[in-house]
Amino acid sequence: MSDTEQTPAVPAQAAAPAVETVDEREPLLEVDHVTLRFGGVVALNDVDFTLYKGEILGLIGPNGAGKTTCFNAMTGIYQPTEGQIRFRGQKISGKKRHQITRMGMARTFQNIRLFPEMTALENVQVGADAHHKTSVISALLRLPRHWKEEREGREKAERLLEFVGISNRMHEFARNLSYGEQRRLEIARALATDPALLCLDEPAAGFNPAEKEELLQLIRQIRDQGVTVLLIEHDMRLVMGVTDRIVVLEFGKKIAEGLPAEVRDNPKVVAAYLGVPDDAA
């Protein structure tokens, strides 16, 4: 692709300007009093929060707090027992995962899920295929529309691999990439679906401090391209450094929500992570 082309690294969406008051912001994702039960186990208990367009929201909590379960309910893997989840104003409960992806929500996974015997480029092209309209007959007959979508998908994949910093590895099999490169590849594949919301589940797991700093910068760049981000992460330094707001879960229930500094100093959050001091009243 020519250096003079102005196509952005991720799908063109207007970058969201900073807005001072939450009330003026546009709700993108609404988790409305969601409870999720597995038999007698309450995995989520009346969880309620709103993610606004253009922000980076952190979803944190100790191990077993229900963070990934909440992600799974948002992305169609689980159906809430009570309450509902709305994305772009539409109820998504009952929709299939590919339908939610087409609505504009993408995610990565705590355990990396790539196609190991496909190249990095091919993995990202799979994400780009989510919005292709070519029919099976058109693909079999190699009609012009099929070739056009294939070419556009490849170009998008190349741009995204450059955006996440691994374009030099695009022709390597995914299984041959380093752990950090595989994490970046999974993000690129998710971005290839043209999401309005990108959900990142423990993206810094296994990273060294330098890689975490690079990831922090990448998340900011993703938001600057107009993609809203929901982040699950254990590394509190990264969370505090990149998020606009934070929601805290413990034992499946929301115990705090607010600005990073407010959450950091919240006694309930301190107790959840560190335990209540022995001399606490």
Tell whether 250 is covered by a domain: yes
CB contact set of 117 (below 8 Å; sequence gap of 6+): 173, 174, 175
What is the C-alpha separation between 56 and 243, in angstroms, rounded? 5
Q: Give the model confidence (pLDDT) of 34-77 as tens digits.
A: 999 998 899 999 999 999 999 999 999 998 899 999 999 998 89
Tell whether 139 is covered by a domain: yes
Provide the Cα torsion 154, 125, 195, 149; round to 10°: 50
191 neighbors 10 (Cβ within 8 angstroms): yes
Which ranges of 143-249 would DSSP assign to H, the alpha helix?
144-163, 179-191, 209-224, 236-242
| Boundary-marking domain end, from 136, 167, 194 | 194
Same domain, 164 and 210: no
Same domain, 226 and 269: yes
73 neighbors 44 (Cβ within 8 angstroms): yes
Q: In a 3-state reduction of DSSP, which class is residue 250?
A: strand
Tell whether 145 is covered by a domain: yes
Same domain, 97 and 199: yes
Confidence of residue 4 (pLDDT cuts 50, 70, 90): very low
Report percent pLDDT > 70 for the chain.
82
Same domain, 177 and 205: no
Same domain, 35 and 172: no
Please give the pLDDT value at position 142: 56
Tell whether 9 is covered by a domain: no
Residue 153 has pLDDT above 50, yes or no: yes
CATH number of the domain that 129 lies in? 3.40.50.300
What is the C-alpha separation between 64 and 250, in angstroms, rounded? 8
Q: Give the model confidence (pLDDT) of 201-219 as tens digits.
A: 999 988 899 999 999 999 9
Mean pLDDT value across residues 5-31: 59
Same domain, 170 and 271: no
End-to-end CA distance of the chain: 66
Provide the Cα torsion 34, 268, 256, 227; round to 10°: -100
pTM over 0.85: no
Tell whether 71 is covered by a domain: yes
- Count how many residues are written for the chain: 281
Tell whether 118 is covered by a domain: yes
| Boundary-marking domain end, from 194, 222, 250 | 194
Lowest mean pLDDT among 155-159, 180-184, 233-237: 233-237
Tell whether 5 is covered by a domain: no
Which ranges of 67-143 would DSSP assign to H, the alpha helix?
67-74, 97-103, 120-128, 136-141
Same domain, 72 and 205: yes
Tell whether 240 is covered by a domain: yes
| Boundary-marking domain end, from 128, 159, 194 | 194
Could you count the other beta carbons within 10 Å of the beta carbon of residue 182? Answer: 21
**Angle (nearest 5°) at CA 79 between 259 and 109:** 60
247 neighbors 254 (Cβ within 8 angstroms): yes
Same domain, 189 and 206: no
Lowest mean pLDDT among 2-11, 33-42, 78-87: 2-11
User: What are the tokens at 90?
Assistant: 């539409």
Q: 64: domain range?
A: 25-104+195-275
Half-sphere exposure of 184 (CA within 13 A, CB side): 27
